[in-house]
Chains A and B, each alone.
Chain A
Amino acid sequence: MSASVSTSTGDVGSTGTRPGMGPAARSRKGFALDLATVARRSLRGALREPEAVIPALVIPVFFFLVNVGALEKVAEAGGGLDYRAFQLPVAVIFAVTGVSRANALVADIATGYFERLLLTPVNRLALLLGLMVADFALVVALCLPVLVLGAVAGVTFVTGLPGLLAFVLLAGAWGVAFTGLPYTIALRTGNPAAVAASFVLFFPFAFLTTAFVPAEALSGWLAQVARFNPVTYVLAALRALVSDGWNAPVLAQGVVATAMVATLSIGLALLALQRRVRTP
């Protein structure tokens, strides 16, 4: 971060040359600086608590190997399906869904450190969005080992490097969209146990969808539920980028599904933030 900070801007009343007041008060720079500051601390914390991130690395690899090992022959029996390419987006979704710094946020709330931050002139919005910036960096980083695994397994992108980039961006966006839910729980409850329990949200999203077989092979209630699960559309878009090409309608559906979840979950998180930072 190369931003240089000047004190000359902003609220004249808050500059600190007043006698008896100490050179205390300096105007604050801007939202971008606050965002970067919050994000940097958050990433540093994540790297120092790898135990919080390791499951997100292990689970996708595990499922990829197991699913491919168990189902590849059956799934490919009908012909026309590259099951490894089909499973790669699933592994990525498993890697990025539910990864957030909500556990760190709720710890800040529980220890009172969050309150200390509220006593600074930090932009309140940056306290949440800075964490999401860190989450984006984190989930993008989590995509990489999965992509390497895919490459080793022989999966190639028909859309080439631009497709790969779009793939990572969409997966990262989905990951961040989902973080609104644990952040909402963290900000609403201030309870670390509740945030830990929010992990269960992962299961319906990740499994009640086309995680194992294509949509046309689903039947009964699962087919119905999968139709309403946004992950179904994100997976379809990611799969298109791997094996299909730039299929605009499918990609658009994936983006819209992600945007809808983001609007809802981040909207809820912002409301919870507003409540949390309001002086009671």
Chain B
Amino acid sequence: MNVHASQQLVNDPAIDVSGLVRRYGDIVAVRGIDLAVARGEIHGFLGPNGAGKTTVVRILCTLLRPTEGEVRVAGFDVVRDAGRVRLRIGAALQEAALDPVQTGRELLELQARLFALPRAIARRRVGELAELVDLGDALDRRVKTYSGGMRRRLDLALALIHEPAILFLDEPTTGLDPASRRQVWNEVRRLNEERGVTIFLTTQYLEEADQLAHRLSVIAGGEIVAAGSPEELKRGIGRDVVVARVEGRVEAAQRAVAGLRDVGRVERSGSELTLAVTDGPAAVVGVATALAALDGLTVREISVRRPSLDDVFLHVTGERIRSDAEGTAGDDAGTENEGIAA
């Protein structure tokens, strides 16, 4: 490989996708997406279940072929140069992709051997990773004795054995308790900051995306519906958000508040109205008055807060992402609310 070519590789994005389409028979799972992830970036890939998230990740990891489009990872085409891509990526894709009867150390050593790491390097890597993911004595216990969090951390260590430049994490904290979740977050940050690893992370947890990702893409219905930094995306919604929880004639309420001055978009999710406004405290009085004037409507709560990624999600996909586990993930998300009892 000549100097010019290596130079080009350095300047290439870590992930470069253009016009990616994936069909399963007649079903179109991914409908022509473009995506660029810079080297050293933590990229959050958000989407509801069935949006095409996993399909995209599997294509990026060479486990699935694109039907159409160009996909380059670490500078190589995922179809023509799949072998080279695999040497440069690490992936923790599924919840329990481990062998329960082997010990953590045995699995790490096995992985090192399959990547043909020389013995001395393999030993050093296993030591480093054991420390990084903090498995301690458990390293020599069989995996079936591990907790969910320990499995996930071993999974991460396995994905890192060959020092990949790009790491794919598919819902790395789903099913973990808040403490384990934070531990995984810290490891992800450290890998990114200390080792410069590019990280492509899918998640359903908005707080996770907010905390970790430098940039985000939101996929819905097989298309990228929003992209940018978490801040940019939230700013796109408005400066403040007024949330009104009502009972009764919700549609009439939606029409009433939509006509108010200073109120931008109004999204409805069940009996909850989310209003994008320029000045929350100023707008809330008008909103309360308008709602109070409506017959057959009970106002349960009105609150003002900063826009969240959940608002972004609602705006671009028309649905709230909140999954069952989001309650524990967003355990400190509620502190921003300035509730106004109605």
Contacts and interface: CB of A to CB of B under 8 A. Distances in A.
Please classify the interface of chain A as helix (H, G, I), strand (E, B), loop, or mixed, using the class held by over half of its residues. loop
Interface stretch (B58-66, B238-246, B315-323): B58-66
Contact of B116 (A20, A28, A108): A28
A115 interface: yes
B62 A112 contact: no
B293 interface: no
B162 A26 contact: yes
Interface stretch (A2-10, A57-65, A178-186, A258-266): A2-10
B82 interface: yes
B181 interface: no
B6 A18 contact: yes
A113 B116 contact: no
The range of chain B's interface size is: 35 or more
B256 interface: no
B176 to A, nearest CB: 18
A167 to B, nearest CB: 32
A22 B6 CA distance: 13
B92 to A, nearest CB: 9
B86 A41 contact: no
B104 to A, nearest CB: 14
A4 B119 contact: yes
A121 B82 contact: no
For A19, A25, A113, A119, which residue has the most chain B Cβ atoms within 10 angstroms?
A119
B157 interface: no
Interface residues of A, number: 44
Please classify the interface of chain B as helix (H, G, I), strand (E, B), loop, or mixed, using the class held by over half of its residues. loop
A111 B165 contact: no
A6 B63 contact: no
A218 to B, nearest CB: 43
Interface of B: 1, 6, 9-10, 39, 61-65, 74, 79, 82-84, 86-89, 91, 93-94, 96-99, 101-102, 106, 110-111, 113-119, 142, 158, 162-165, 195-197
Interface of A: 4-7, 11-14, 16, 18-29, 33-34, 37, 41, 44-45, 48-49, 107-108, 111-113, 115-122, 279-280
27 contacts: A5-B116, A5-B117, A14-B83, A14-B84, A20-B10, A21-B74, A22-B164, A22-B195, A24-B164, A25-B87, A37-B114, A41-B106, A44-B102, A44-B106, A45-B99, A45-B102, A48-B142, A111-B99, A112-B94, A119-B63, A120-B114, A121-B114, A121-B115, A121-B116, A279-B64, A279-B79, A280-B65
